[in-house]
Every structure is written in C-alpha cells, then in structure tokens.
Amino acid sequence: MDDFAQANVGWDLIMGQYYAGFVPFILSMLFPLFVFLSVIFFTSKMADRSEFVAILASGVSLRRILRPYWVGGVFLAVVLYIGNYQFLPRAIEKKNRFELKYIKSPMSSYTGGSLYMRVDSFSYCGMRYYDTATKTGSNFFLETIRNHTVTYNLRSDNIVWDTAKKKWKLTGVVERKILPLKENVSYTVEMYRSFNFTPGDLQKDEYMKSRLTTPELNRMVRLERLRGSESVKELEMEGAKRLATPVSVIILTLIGAILACRKIRGGSGAHLAIGIILCAIFILTDRFSTIFSTKGNLDPYIAAWIPNVLFAFITLRLYSKAPK
C-alpha cells in the first residue's frame, strides 16, 4: 500500500492492471496446494460422518470411489495447463508493466559488461557495451569459424538498432575475408545487417520466462541453446514445470482423497495437519530440485518431475494401505 500511495496511482489502475495480473499469478503458483487442501477438507468431512464406511459396506470399491476425484483432478489439471500455456503469461506481463512503471525503480539501461553469443552453427558475435535505452552498442565483432579456422572477421565501432528497417546499423566497419593464401580487407563507413537477435534479446529481464507463452518460450530455449547462454536452464525449467505442475494437481488430488477418506481421531484437523506437512515436503522438494538444476548439472526436465515421481510413490503407498 505504501508503494501504491507513493506512486500516486488510482484505484482503477491498481485493480485493472496490477491485481488483474497478480491474482492469476498467485493462483497458478499455489493452485496444486489449494486443490490438495480443499480435497482433504471436504473428504475428511465425509469421513467424519462415516459416509465412506457406508459406501464401502455397500460393496463399492475404493477404486470406484476415487473415480470422481480422477475426473475432477484431470479437469483442473487441463485448466491449469491451458492457463499456463497462453493466458497466465499475458497476465504476468500486465503486472510486470505496472510494477516497472509505478513501483520499482527504473532498471539501469547499461548491461554492466560484455556480451558474447553464438549467432549460428559457425559464427560468434559480441560487443563491449550495450545501452538498452538507446539500443546502441560499441566495439561489436563477428567471427565465422570453419574447421577450427577463422574464415571471416568483422569489427565495428558502433552498432545501433534501426526501428524503421528492423535491422542493425553498423558504423566504422572493417571486414576481413580470410582465404587460404591471402586476406581481403575492406572498410565501410556504414552498413545494415540482419542477425538472429533483437534489442529485446539483449536486455536482461528477470521476468522474461514468466511472461512468454509456451510457443514463445520454446523458441527462446532453442535460440539460447544456439547462443550458448547461461540462462537456458532457467528457461528449460520454466517450460518443464508448465507440464509437470498440472500433473501434480492430479497426484495431490488422489493423495488428499486417499488420506482423508479414513476416519481417524482428530477428524478434519488431523487430516489438515497431515496435509500441510505434505505440502511443505512438496514445496521443499520442488525448491531443492529447481536449485540443483539451475545452479548445478541436474537436467531441468528431470528436476521438474522429481516431486511428481516422489509423490506418486506416496500415492501408491497410501492406496495400498487404505481400506478397500
């Protein structure tokens, strides 16, 4: 509230822009846990009234009892997957635009260091400095290497993005074409070139992976792999979680149903306490696997599925011990 008051923004902007993106963001992040606790709550209420005892005594199996939970879990998982695929990134983008404009201090336009990336299978480029505000860089270079030998070299004093032509403008360009027995050197005052990166790709953005739709995220992963970027694991982790998280909704739904269908001393309170403990274990497992992936050598797709695999075994264990 202090940030809103200091920014002097109206209630319509706060609700229409910030919370319109913030609420879907929080819901998607906590969606599996909300489903898990809600399933435990209403299932334990049924168990307290001995409804499951009557259902099982009538000859209905536990597998048949769990069928509505399967249907509900799959439905909610599909809803979450569709939201993560297309709608949630747009909501996060709206929230981030509001934060950058009214709440957070403006990001520095200076990247703070050199840029170096792979352009294609044979070429590498980089620049000494880059200004995201003016879309201008200095000391740009481009090299093509074939069979461990440099065959082309380009040096430019400055590089600027031309918004009209959608190309990079190079000034003070020196080109060297290296042949087996000689070199061809040429100097050009100004030229325009197209590369597979834009100013948006050069700007450091901590929210980028969250605001990209799944097709855009997959395209960014392919580009960052080609460029040899250090941030590619974070992008891969985001893509893997967009599929793994909906599956966790199904698993947690079944765990909540199997756990709470048995009537125990303590009733709903005991069931909710056990559920909160399992939620904490799930979150810790997810955080540890994420850190081991982004900061270590663990494959992002394996890391994203570790909590699901662990809790799938817990589900099977609880099902084997549940009254049939």
**Residue 309 in this model has a pLDDT that exceeds 50:** yes
Q: How confident is the model at residue 114 (pLDDT cuts 50, 70, 90)?
A: low
**Residue range 262-278: mean pLDDT, rounded:** 75
Summarised one tens digit per residue, pLDDT across range 116-153 is: 777 777 888 888 877 776 788 888 888 988 888 888 99
Q: State the Cα–Cα distance between residues 34 and 40, nearest whole angstrom.
A: 10
Q: Are the CB atoms for 184 and 190 separated by under 8 Å?
A: no
Decide which of 229 and 111 is more confident: 229
Q: State the Cα–Cα distance between residues 17 and 225, nearest whole angstrom.
A: 34
Identify the sign of the CA torsion 8, 12, 15, 17. Answer: negative
Q: Which helix (H) or strand (E) holds 14?
A: none
pTM, entire model: 0.68
Q: State the Cα–Cα distance between residues 197 and 222, nearest whole angstrom.
A: 12
Q: What would the two tokens of residue 149 be?
A: 């030998």
Spacing of C-alpha 182 from chain mean position: 49
3-state secondary structure of 199: helix
**Residue range 307-313: mean pLDDT, rounded:** 90
